[in-house]
Each structure stands twice: as structure tokens, then as C-alpha cells.
């Protein structure tokens, strides 16, 4: 194996806080990621090279009220990917970790009433393939979501809490 793609995630939006949904989201998104990506990283350590692709989300950048555990677990994905990149470099291994941060994708599981810039799965897949081939560290798909990501990082909390 030279390439491992982890493209999984679960989160259900809700008006009210539903602990069961938040726990399920955390167990699937965090524990599943550590188990599978961790096993791939170990394999690549022994092999001496490889590439891991981990699908995070633009939701990783800030917390949100519609699915708090989902955005937190995607932030875990971002930090885990970054940490593995640094670990591979410090160990002198040729292991690339590419983090993909999609915005809204038009799928059956994409829920919510405030979706914009919704991309087709085909467009997202094409941009993901390019990012994987280029061994990018972080890639926003579609690329215009990079702008949203930068804005989310700059908005002060007092303003962000009104829109999140």
C-alpha cells in the first residue's frame, strides 16, 4: 500500500443539544480516525514511505452550534494530520499526510438550511485527486472555501457567535 484515504465522518445537526448524537459523532470521528489512520501510519513507518489522506472539513476551523462534536472532531482530524506530518518528518520518513477540508458537498448526508457554495461530488473528487497528486499538506475543496477558512480564523468570537 502506498496511499491510504480516510474519508469518514458523522454528524447530525440539531436545534437542541442531544448528547447521544454528540457522543456518537465523537466515537466515530475521533476513535475511528485514530484506529484506522494510526494503523496506516504504522504500516508506512515500517515501509518507510506512503501517503495518508485525511478528510477533515471547513467546520474544523471553528466550533458551531448545529453539531458541536462534529466540528470538534474535525478539528481533531486537522490537528492529528498536522501532528503526523511533523512526526514523520522528525523520524526521517517519507510519509506525506494530506488533509482535505471540504465545504458543502451535495450528498444525501449533507444537512442544514444555511448551505452555500454547494459543490457536486464530482467537482470535489476532481479537486481532491489534484491535492493528493500534489501531496499538499492542506487543501480546501472547492478551492474558494480557502477564503471562508481564512475569514473564519479572523472573525472575533463576539461576532462569530451570532452567525455560528
CA-based diameter of the chain, in Å? Answer: 48
Find the range with the poorest average confidence among 10-14, 22-26, 31-35. Answer: 10-14
Q: Give residue 126's pLDDT.
A: 93
Placement of cell 501532528 in the chain: 83
Cα 118 to chain center, whole Å?
17
Q: Give residue 160's pLDDT.
A: 83
- The structure's pTM equals 0.86
Q: Give residue 37's pLDDT.
A: 98
CA–CA gap between residue 2 and residue 117 (Å, rounded): 33
CA–CA gap between residue 136 and residue 96 (Å, rounded): 8
CA–CA gap between residue 160 and residue 64 (Å, rounded): 9
Name every residue whose Cβ is closer than 8 Å to that of residue 67 and which is 6 or more positions away in sequence. 11, 12, 13, 14, 21, 22, 25, 59
Contact status, residue 72 vs residue 56, Cβ threshold 8 Å: no
Q: Using one digit for the tens of pLDDT, what is the confidence trace for 33-71?
A: 999 999 999 999 999 999 999 999 888 898 888 889 999
Share the mean pLDDT of the chain: 89
CA–CA gap between residue 74 and residue 21 (Å, rounded): 15
- On whether the 3-163 domain is CATH 3.40.50.170, my answer is no
Q: Give residue 147's pLDDT.
A: 85
Q: Using one digit for the tens of pLDDT, what is the confidence trace for 104-134?
A: 766 665 555 566 677 788 988 999 999 999 9
Amino acid at each position: 500500500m502506498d496511499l491510504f484515504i480516510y474519508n469518514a465522518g458523522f454528524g447530525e445537526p440539531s436545534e437542541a443539544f442531544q448528547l447521544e448524537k454528540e457522543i456518537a459523532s465523537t466515537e466515530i470521528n475521533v476513535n475511528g480516525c485514530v484506529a484506522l489512520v494510526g494503523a496506516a501510519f504504522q504500516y508506512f513507518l515500517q515501509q518507510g514511505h506512503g501517503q495518508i489522506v485525511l478528510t477533515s472539513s471547513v467546520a474544523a476551523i471553528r466550533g458551531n452550534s448545529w453539531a458541536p462534536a462534529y466540528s470538534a472532531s474535525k478539528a481533531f482530524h486537522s490537528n492529528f494530520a498536522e501532528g503526523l506530518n511533523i512526526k514523520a518528518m522528525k523520524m526521517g520518513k517519507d510519509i506525506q499526510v494530506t488533509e482535505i477540508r471540504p465545504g458543502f458537498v451535495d450528498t444525501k448526508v449533507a444537512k442544514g438550511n444555511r448551505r452555500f457554495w454547494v459543490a457536486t461530488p464530482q467537482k470535489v473528487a476532481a479537486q481532491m485527486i489534484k491535492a493528493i497528486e500534489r501531496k499538499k499538506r492542506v487543501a480546501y475543496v472547492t478551492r474558494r472555501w480557502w477564503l471562508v477558512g481564512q475569514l473564519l480564523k479572523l472573525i472575533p468570537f463576539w461576532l462569530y457567535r451570532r452567525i455560528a
